[in-house]
Amino acid sequence: MADSNVKVLGTWASPFVMRVRIALHLKSVGYEYVEENLLEAKSELLLKSNPVHKKVPVLIHGDKPVCESLIIVQYIDEVWTSAPSILPSDPYDRAESRFWAAYVNDKFFPALRRVLISTEEARKVAMAEILEGVVLLEEAFKKLSKGKAFFGGDNLGYVDLAVGSLLAWIKVIEKFTETEALSEAKTPSLAAWADCFSSHAAVKDVFPDVDKLVDFGMKLRAKFSKAATAAAATTTN
């Protein structure tokens, strides 16, 4: 049920947008979803709502915009307090959740992006970082989940949203590189969690189609490779 008071500016392929939508689903908050076409032109509403970064997602609550996916998720958790909390209540557990979400944003996602759009050599380095990263996340899962199904325990939590939103993109780079990143042999807990996450009621409707994402990834790669070739030509001419 759409609540005209809440609007999300997003794009279907963005893992960051997915985090915000899952958080709203978990809290049973209805919202209007506005699809932006970032490969073409950004809307006036997006440019006005996020003038600093000009990026999705933006949550508009009433007339107030909130930007940056992890900040939006915390905002949602603090505004709609009746549903189960997304962040744990204990300060140390909260700090650990924030640590792993920041790790995903600052280290894991940039490596994933480089696997997608870098040149061959940089791609190998980035893929090695991904393979190290999933081992770290496997350990983090064991610690945070305390034997339950999710990083957040019985319910989806902050780290589930941070990592889970990248699962479809992990599948894309597995196809691109013909390398298994998550596997029952090397990361059994994370592999089992991935199945639970992607079939969760709050997730399954916004989990992107991987084949469609592969096509989109190839377009992105072509766009960046063209840009890099043009930049190299400018430098050498």
- Residues near a copy of itself (CB under 8 A) are 52, 61, 64, 66-68, 71-72, 74-75, 78-79, 91-92, 94-95, 98-99, 102-103, 136
Could you tell me how far CA 31 lies from the centroid of its own chain? Answer: 19
Bridge partners, residue 34, by sequence: 9
Residue 208, C-beta contacts closer than 8 angstroms, at least 6 positions apart: 12, 13, 18, 168
| Amino acid, single-letter form, for residue 137 | L
68 or 160: whose CB is closer to a copy of itself?
A: 68
Bridge partners, residue 35, by sequence: 10
6, 24 Cβ separation under 8 angstroms: yes
44 or 53: whose CB is closer to a copy of itself?
A: 53
DSSP assigned state of 10: E
42 or 98: whose CB is closer to a copy of itself?
A: 98
Question: Least CB distance from residue 61 to a copy of itself, whole Å?
Answer: 8
Question: Least CB distance from residue 210 to a copy of itself, whole Å?
Answer: 29
Other residues' Cβ atoms within 10 Å of the Cβ of residue 53: 9
Question: Least CB distance from residue 55 to a copy of itself, whole Å?
Answer: 11
218 or 228: whose CB is closer to a copy of itself?
A: 228
Return the ∠ at Cα 59 (arms to 224 and 66), rounded to 5°: 95
61 or 186: whose CB is closer to a copy of itself?
A: 61
Question: Least CB distance from residue 98 to a copy of itself, whole Å?
Answer: 5
Question: Least CB distance from residue 174 to a copy of itself, whole Å?
Answer: 23
